[in-house]
């Protein structure tokens, strides 16, 4: 059912049509030695990326990529990679709101599921579950837009 406001425009709506694991890998290269108790926790580095691709005029595939690496010195204790996606129906938003919806709101909805998958896979790998802290997707989006603006302002040198 389509809702309309006084001007006849469609009210904004955001719906998740599907969620899926596109890629999941876990490496425990030092097992079983890596599972022994250690004096200090390994250093954990987490990289996050968000991409969005149109599937139709209103449907978008939004993909959240999480790469985790735990190291003890220069040795990898474990590494996990998750590419988790969702198909979203986005309708009725003004054009200027589309990128924030796709790169902030959609990954915010996907994140709790991706976080649980990473926690489960690290626990199943023999480690304590890795509970990733909440991610500020609005800040990530602002940094991405600033980087894009800076890149577009760089003029190529003429030889």
Per-residue confidence in pLDDT tens, the chain, 159 aa: 444 444 446 799 999 999 999 999 999 998 888 887 788 888 999 999 999 999 999 999 999 999 999 999 899 999 999 999 999 999 999 999 999 999 999 999 999 999 999 999 999 999 999 999 999 999 999 999 998 888 887 656 654
Chain mean position to CA 135: 9
pLDDT of residue 158: 58
Residues 6+ apart with CB under 8 A from 108: 137
Helix or strand run (H / E) with residue 109: helix 106-124
Domain 18-128 has CATH 3.50.50.60: no
The pLDDT of residue 2 is 45
Per-residue confidence (pLDDT) for residue 81, from 0 to 100: 98
pTM of the model: 0.85
SS3 of 28, please? coil
Strands 59-72 and 43-54: antiparallel
Show me where the domains of the chain are located: 18-128
């Amino acid at each position: 059912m389509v809702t309309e406001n006084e001007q006849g425009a469609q009210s904004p709506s955001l719906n998740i049509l599907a969620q899926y694991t596109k890629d999941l890998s876990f490496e425990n290269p030092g097992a079983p030695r890596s599972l022994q108790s250690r004096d200090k926790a390994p250093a954990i580095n987490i990289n996050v990326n968000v991409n969005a691709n149109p599937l139709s005029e209103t449907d978008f595939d939004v993909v959240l990529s999480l790469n985790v690496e735990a190291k003890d010195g220069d040795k990898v204790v474990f590494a996990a990679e998750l590419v988790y996606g969702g198909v979203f129906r986005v309708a009725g938003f003004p054009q200027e709101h589309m990128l924030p919806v796709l790169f902030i709101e959609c990954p915010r909805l996907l994140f709790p599921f991706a976080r649980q998958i990473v926690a489960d896979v690290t626990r199943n790998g023999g480690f304590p579950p890795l509970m990733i802290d909440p991610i500020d997707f609005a800040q990530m989006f602002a940094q991405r837009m600033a980087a894009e603006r800076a890149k577009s302002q760089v003029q190529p040198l003429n030889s």
